[in-house]
A and B are shown apart, each in its own frame.
Chain A
Amino acid sequence: NAGVTQTPKFRVLKTGQSMTLLCAQDMNHEYMYWYRQDPGMGLRLIHYSVGEGTTAKGEVPDGYNVSRLKKQNFLLGLESAAPSQTSVYFCASSYIRRWNEQYFGPGTRLTVT
């Protein structure tokens, strides 16, 4: 099993550009999450999904959109990147009955200039 994978690993964007981060999991998990990690702060939840076709806002959703068209994939989109979105982004997934046992991907380091 590959677990949770994320693409790309690194990306540099200019302000105003758009991009999509892809998360894939092969553990048949129902729940998937997107977090951002900033220096000196704990991980913060951006959006999450409890199933295919269903998404919900987390703690810091502004400036991001998500889609879950397939159970194994969860996409995070930035429509118009801003320097404040410079961060490391982590995707995670979990089973519905053990939702707090989350498995994390390796992260995507995004820099917005």
Chain B
Amino acid sequence: KNQVEQSPQSLIILEGKNCTLQCNYTVSPFSNLRWYKQDTGRGPVSLTIMTFSENTKSNGRYTATLDADTKQSSLHITASQLSDSASYICVVTISGNTGKLIFGQGTTLQVKP
């Protein structure tokens, strides 16, 4: 069964600290993996996209990694800010003509001052 599991479910950190969110997937055939940020009351917004051959990709203070062998991805947030408080969603694309997106349930991050 194609699944995307994220951990932890929720996380609270202090402003300025770093954190890492995890995403494990059992999706085949794999096309790419995308991390979305969803602010409260808003729709998801894409942060990064990674294909099979990419190990690391950065977007400002956000760094995503992908290990296609173990089917794991992580999103590392450096020097967190209050504005980082949001849900982070891992989405895996199934390749092919009948491709579809498999969404993780998200990790809710709260950054406290």
Write the nearest CB–CB distance from B24 to chain A, whole angstroms. 13
Main secondary structure of the interface of A (DSSP, over half): loop
Contact with A along B17-48 (1 / 0, CB 8 A): 00000000000000110100000011111100
Residues of A within 8 A of B41 (CB): 106-107
Given A42-B102, A42-B103, residue A100 in contact with residue B44 (CB < 8 A): no
Interchain CA distance A92-B45 in the complex, whole Å: 11
A-B contacts, CB under 8 A, total: 41
Given A40-B105, A42-B89, A42-B106, residue A100 in contact with residue B43 (CB < 8 A): no
Q: Does A101 contact B (CB under 8 A)?
A: yes
Interchain CA distance A69-B38 in the complex, whole Å: 29
Write the nearest CB–CB distance from A56 to chain B, whole angstroms. 11
Q: Does A45 contact B (CB under 8 A)?
A: yes
Write the nearest CB–CB distance from A41 to chain B, whole angstroms. 6
Interchain CA distance A85-B9 in the complex, whole Å: 24
Residues of A within 8 A of B43 (CB): 4, 90, 92, 104-107
Could you say which of A4, A45, A92 contacts B100, with CB atoms under 8 Å apart?
A: A45
Write the nearest CB–CB distance from B56 to chain A, whole angstroms. 20
Contact with B along A83-106 (1 / 0, CB 8 A): 000000010100000011110111
Q: Chain B residue with minimal CB distance to A43?
A: B103
What is B's interface to A at a CB cutoff of 8 Å?
4, 9, 31-32, 34, 41-46, 49, 89, 93, 99-106
